[in-house]
Structure 1
């Protein structure tokens, strides 16, 4: 997805093109994918009071963790939680919150360390839980993943997108969850895609390894004649973070609203200097062939559609359970 970005001047969102169809990843899509709080940030005065210690008092770090402030990694905190089963509940709870926020939601470059500001915030549990960690995480993603404004020419843009790797801060898994929602055909390469269990529904003694998507899988989906890319929903004023709007994006949103028929031919350009992507021999992949003999693919598509219908029914059942009819 990151290599399929559109270069826009909108600072609060990213646009992609997949299979010739435009996709928007804004704060709204991030919130829909994660469920994290994305409300407005608290006033600067409240934030400064929560992230700094009062004059004449010592930082909360010394009481909660000890040692040199900012020198402890998240991995060390996890080891401490496992090593001290009799740790007081007030300390255990706060350390767990620090691990979740620093190690998952605001994750930075390795090794990830607990920040003095987050540790100071956890002193006030009510303020900590009310803070919009989702908005904070989303801003970190944009800062590290979005094609920035310092693009001098086409060559510099191509060089940026041709990087073999990029370190993304925040919670980049949200981009993958976003892709699964708006490109449902990708789910056919995800094991047990129809399941919606979470940690509250079942006990998971050990997390399985994340399945990586091979380039041939993505290309097969992108060039499939069964590809369906859901259009971006209308912009929600609740999640608007900037009054600026790129005129080209405004025109693109107008075309989407008018149900314009997008295809690959209307997106000219691209870079072909890299070697062609081919299927791995070890995987014995036949998906890069034409769709002339795609009976297996049609079966997969039916499975995806059936999985989406079952999810809808499951949500209806849960809704009826939570809100029974009188």
Structure 2
């Protein structure tokens, strides 16, 4: 796994010790009882896949969204696990890089690790084309081809259209599903996400759509949500994470595979403070 626990770029053992001293909270003084909310979950992925036929799911598996389909089969997002890791952040200035302390070692979360667990392209975002003041009839938004002249459409309503077979065109069907993945899984910002017209424009050419750096947009949103919090905000009763928060859990578990069982248990039980004790127990076990 690319996170290489314990390895900091350009630093020797002294640099590692200095980095570990630069923690948000001292060891044993991390806040407890904090609720971590995310507007995205593996449930979002499953609800989309459940609206598709098997051949359409296979189509997604063979696309750059393939790992997103696989993620639906992995443990759901654990709020307790997220709280545990967020309170064990190291203070890092790089915008697209975060480090989390586990069992006395730092684990990196950056574009490299995000790309490995999601399979999404994370290249540079292409510049937006200059918008003309007026559109001709021939230059109508691609949104109209997908949803007619409906101005706003929630993800839940779009999925209902698929489940009820309101959409009969198979090409449109898979495009609606892809737009739902972008809106409610990768770039989720609230519980009632709406489809965005600017994202729908990418669906005119599916090759261009899949090549678009959705991973960069998703990580930018998630990292901004993580980075804007200092030790004071991390001690508040509730912390809300925007974007594909499940990716952080996937990276940490990939770096420490033994945590898989702990995350599964945390997902299946209630979100009480005992979650920290369970994860701490695994931490001490790994130390031994």
> Normalising to structure 2: TM-score of the pair?
0.61
| Aligned position for 1:119 | 200
Equivalent residue, structure 2, for 1:61: 143
SS in structure 2 opposite 1:22? strand
Query: What SS does structure 2 have at the residue aligned with 1:104?
Result: helix
Partner deviation per Cα, 1:21-72 (whole Å, 9 max, x = no partner):
2121111111122222223333x1xx437x9998323222222112443x21
For residues 210 and 261 of structure 2, the distance between their equivalents in structure 1, rounded to whole angstroms, comes to: 36
Residue 90 (str. 1) matches residue 90 (str. 2): no
Q: 1:29 aligns with which of 86, 105, 113?
A: 113
Which fold has the larger relative contact order, with Cα–Cα distance below 8 Å and residues 6 or more apart in sequence? 2
Q: Show the counterpart of 2:274.
A: 216
**Which has the higher Rg, Structure 1 or Structure 2?**
1
Aligned with residue 134 of structure 1, among 215, 227, 239: 215
Structure 2 residues not aligned, in runs of 5+: 1-84
- How many residues in Structure 1 have an aligned counterpart in Structure 2? 200
Q: Which residue of structure 1 lines up, in the alignment, with residue 243 of structure 2?
A: 170
- Tell me the equivalent position of 1:39: 123
Instruction: Name which of 173, 176, 184 aligns with 1:103.
Output: 184
In 1, the alpha carbon distance for the partners of 2:228 and 2:91 equals 6
Judge conservation of contact 1:53–1:59 (CA < 8 Å) in 2: no
Distance 1:140 1:218 in 2: 26
> What TM-score comes out, normalization by structure 1 length?
0.55
**C-alpha separation in 1, matches of 2:167 and 2:234:** 49
For residue 238 of structure 2, give the secondary structure of its aligned residue in structure 1.
Answer: coil
What is the CA–CA distance in structure 2 between the aligned matches of 1:53 and 1:74, rounded to whole Å?
29
Are 1:53 and 1:60, in contact at CA under 8 Å, matched by a contact in 2? no
What root-mean-square deviation, in Å, do the aligned CA atoms of Structure 1 and Structure 2 show?
2.8
Question: 1:37, 1:65 → 2: CA distance?
Answer: 27
Quote the Cα distance in structure 2 between the aligned partners of 1:114 and 1:8: 34
State the shift of 1:95 in Å.
0.9
- Partner of 1:135: helix, strand, or coil? helix
Structure 1, unaligned stretches of length 5 or more? Answer: 149-156, 194-208, 229-297, 299-326
The 1:142/1:190 distance shift into structure 2, 3 A limit, reads closer
How far the C-alpha of 1:162 sits from its partner, in A, is: 0.9
